[in-house]
Each structure stands twice: as structure tokens, then as C-alpha cells.
Amino acid sequence: MNVDNLHIGIFGRRNTGKSSLINMITGQDISIVSGIPGTTTDPVKKSVEILDIGPAILIDTAGIDDLGEIGSKKIQKSQGVIRRVDCAILLIAGNQFGDYEIRLIEQFQMNEVPYLIAHNKSDIDKIAAITKSAIRQHTQAEIIDFSTIDPADKERLITALKQIIPESAFQKSSLIGDLVKPGDVVLLITPFDSESPEGRMILPQSQTIRDVLDNKCITVVVTVDKLTDFLKLGITPALAITDSSVFGTVAQMLPEGIPLTSFSILFARLKGNFDVFKEGTPHIAKLREGDSVLILESCTHQTSCDDIGRVKIPKLLQQFTSKGLQFTVISGLSELPPDVKAFSLVIQCGGCMITRKQLINRISPFIEAGIPVTNYGMTLAYLHGIFERATNIFGKKAAK
């Protein structure tokens, strides 16, 4: 699944036909369709190619009117999806429009998620003028009347959907395109440790290799122990990119004249707020005894003794500051702590497994609360004394 594909969320009450809508768009029985309310539990994702839109990920959510303790948890998960999608479809049926839908609309607007309202099951009950009037009291969003069992309505829905998709969802940014020119040699230093998957590259490395090739550059990939052998060839790369975990070692081996950065810093520029990260990093030196540091991993993975977020960064921070610090680690897109102001520093991973919107929404509560935010690569560069070297290459191009 490509996390950078367009994410479309389907929201609404139970039995409005959300799963049927997913199946209609995909042309497959992806989501379970049942007359029993509450069939959908966790959000269901499906990758699909939509004509005239392109690759997308459809997310089927649980009904926002689910009952009981379990129902409440399902609603929370459905609401959490809003922060992760590029656009949304609010599905209603039977001319039902009330508090449930109004709350969703408010959340769409708060999270700046474009949306349309689709009244389903028009073959049974067409949308009434009074329903449209009620909707118009709260939003000017597009309203369409359709049925998931009418093939012609699929095209009507997709046409309406195309009108609300933000242009940013189609913009494919390059990791290094503005830093190099065609024909340049780009050197990638990729260590293999206990966290590296056997027989393949980790995602940031493979994505960077593809980006370098897309920019018509010459790609050279070496492990740390072969870096000296490469330098003996007399080839001067236009850019060197390494894994943040070996920043210190590589910086000592690589001549100062060769621009150096890391995979994590490249992804911070691509997906996060680079300027905020850069401004927040020096606050590492201001940490005091007992301060709490929050580490945000955007994926779940098996941890090891070499784990960069759970082991290496905390250990180096303790050594650098000579302070007793408290660390909290949250993986995946799990809920954030209720009191964001309890932390003195937030360190976000590169975010290769999530979208830019997801990462921005992830760190925004801390930015709004005035909590310094940085990322793995910048943190390690700072701790190794090469922060300026690792970020200066971007100059004014850093702001995204």
C-alpha cells in the first residue's frame, strides 16, 4: 500500500451503505455488507485505481451512531480517521440528518478536510427538500442523491468526488530533486544492523534510491565499511545521504566539502514542517533534570537493542545532557497523551509510513502548545555536533 496515495474516508451512521459504497467504487466485495447494524468495526482500507482520479485508498469506518462501550470505541476510531484523510464522503440515507452528521461536519471543517454529502438509497427514498434545507443551515458542501445499486450513479459520485479533492493530494514532491542536477553522483551510505530486514532495504532507503534515479542521477550505494574504498576511487558525489544512526561515523570519514544529510532529514523536509523541526532541535541543550521527552514512531515494528527511537536516541540524549530524563514512546498512530504540555521536547520519526497530512496533524497539538518539536535525523545530527552541516544544504529550500 502506497501511503502517499490519495486517502478518502467514508463516514456516516450505521446502515447508510458505507460498505456498499466502497464495494461499488472498487467493483469488489471488499467490505462486509449486512442489514445488521454495526457490522463494520475497525476502519477498513482498500487500495483502488479510480478512473480520472488515480490510485487511492478508501477507508470504510464504523457507524457514528454505534451504541454501548464498544460502540463508543468504534466511533473514536472512526473520528480518528478524519485527521488522516485527504477528503471525505459523508453518507446519509432515509433523509436522516441531525446531530451525528453536524458533529462530523464540524470535525471536517476543524481538520480542513474537504467533503461532500451523499444521500444513499435514492431508489427507496429520494432526498427531500426539507433535508437539503437542514443541511444548508450547516454547510454549503456538494449534495448528491444516488443509489449504490445503480451503476450510472457511480460515475456521478466520482465526478462529484473529483471536485473536492485538494490539489496538494496530486502533488508528488521529490526528496532530492532541488538539490542535484541530472548526471550528478549521489552517494547513499546504508548500514545494516539488527533492525534491517533480511534481504531488502528499509523503506526510506528504497524510496530515496528511486527518487535519485527519477532525477536522472548516478546512484552509488555502499555500506559504512566500504565508504573508505569508495572515496579512494576519486569520485566526488554531489550529495551524500546516510542513515541517521551512523551520522557521527560517516561525518568523520566524509570530507567536509561533500554535502551530507540523512534519510530522516530528507523525509522531515518532504512530510513534516522542516522549519519547525530545525527551530526545535537546539532545545535539546535546554533540557533539565526530570524533563519528559516524547518519541513518536509512525509505524509499529519489532524492537531490538539497536532500536533508534527506543534505545539509541534516549541513551545519547542522557549522555549529551547529563540529565535524568523521562521518555515516553508512542508507536503507529495511537492516541496522543491527553496533556501535551507535560513534555519538554517531542521527537518525531521520519514518517516514511504515513502521509504528510497525517504527520502534520500528529505534531500540530504540540506546536500549538509551544512545545519544541524535532525529528530523529536532526536530533542525531545535533547530538553528534554536525547539525549545521546536515541542514545547511537545504538553505531557503528547506521550507515546505
Query: pLDDT class for 396, splitting at 50, 70, 90?
Result: very low
Asked if residue 159 lies in contact with residue 50, where contact means CB atoms within 8 angstroms, the answer is no
Q: Identify which has the larger pLDDT, 260 or 354.
A: 260
- Separation between Cα atoms, residue 241 and residue 250, nearest integer Å: 10
Query: pLDDT class for 34, splitting at 50, 70, 90?
Result: very low
pLDDT in tens, 174-200: 899 999 999 999 999 998 665 555 666
- Separation between Cα atoms, residue 265 and residue 272, nearest integer Å: 10
Of 154, 155, 211, residue with least CA distance to 184:
211
The answer, yes or no, to whether residue 37 has pLDDT greater than 50, is: no
Give the model's pLDDT for residue 397. Answer: 44
The answer, yes or no, to whether residue 203 has pLDDT greater than 70, is: yes
- Separation between Cα atoms, residue 43 and residue 19, nearest integer Å: 11
Asked if residue 164 lies in contact with residue 158, where contact means CB atoms within 8 angstroms, the answer is no
Q: Under DSSP, is residue 222 helix (H, G, I), strand (E, B) or coil?
A: strand
User: What does CATH list as the number for 185-265?
Assistant: 3.40.50.11420
pLDDT in tens, 317-347: 999 999 999 999 998 777 888 899 999 999 9
- Separation between Cα atoms, residue 82 and residue 105, nearest integer Å: 10
Of 269, 272, 318, residue with least CA distance to 298:
272
Asked if residue 65 lies in contact with residue 93, where contact means CB atoms within 8 angstroms, the answer is no
Domain 185-265 shares a fold with domain 274-398: yes
pLDDT in tens, 105-115: 999 998 889 99
Mean pLDDT of 364-393: 95
Give the model's pLDDT for residue 294. Answer: 97
Query: pLDDT class for 36, splitting at 50, 70, 90?
Result: very low
C-alpha cell at 265: 532529514
pLDDT in tens, 121-148: 999 999 999 999 999 999 999 999 999 9
For residue 180, the 8-state DSSP code is -
Question: Which segments within the chain are labelled E, that is strand?
Answer: 6-12, 44-50, 54-60, 87-93, 115-120, 143-145, 185-189, 218-222, 239-242, 260-262, 292-296, 326-330, 345-348, 373-375
Residues sharing a CB contact under 8 Å with residue 283, sequence separation 6 or more, in sequence order: 344, 345, 372, 374
Q: Identify which has the larger pLDDT, 357 or 109.
A: 109
Q: How many residues can be counted in the chain?
A: 400
For residue 278, the 8-state DSSP code is H
User: What does CATH list as the number for 274-398?
Assistant: 3.40.50.11410
pLDDT in tens, 248-275: 999 999 999 999 999 999 998 988 889 9
Query: pLDDT class for 69, splitting at 50, 70, 90?
Result: low
Give the model's pLDDT for residue 355. Answer: 81
CATH homologous superfamily for 6-170? P-loop containing nucleotide triphosphate hydrolases (3.40.50.300)
pLDDT above 90 covers what percent of the chain?
59
Give the model's pLDDT for residue 194. Answer: 52
Q: What share of the chain is helix, strand, coil (3-state, %, to 5)?
A: 40, 20, 40
Measured torsion, CA atoms of residues 400, 4, 72, 22, in degrees rounded to the nearest 10: 140
Asked if residue 191 lies in contact with residue 263, where contact means CB atoms within 8 angstroms, the answer is no
Mean pLDDT of 219-244: 96
Is this structure's pTM higher than 0.85? no
Per-domain boundaries in the chain: 6-170, 185-265, 274-398
pLDDT in tens, 374-388: 999 999 999 999 999
Phi/psi for 17 (5° steps) reads 105, 25
Angle (nearest 5°) at CA 144 between 141 and 146: 155
Give the model's pLDDT for residue 193. Answer: 60
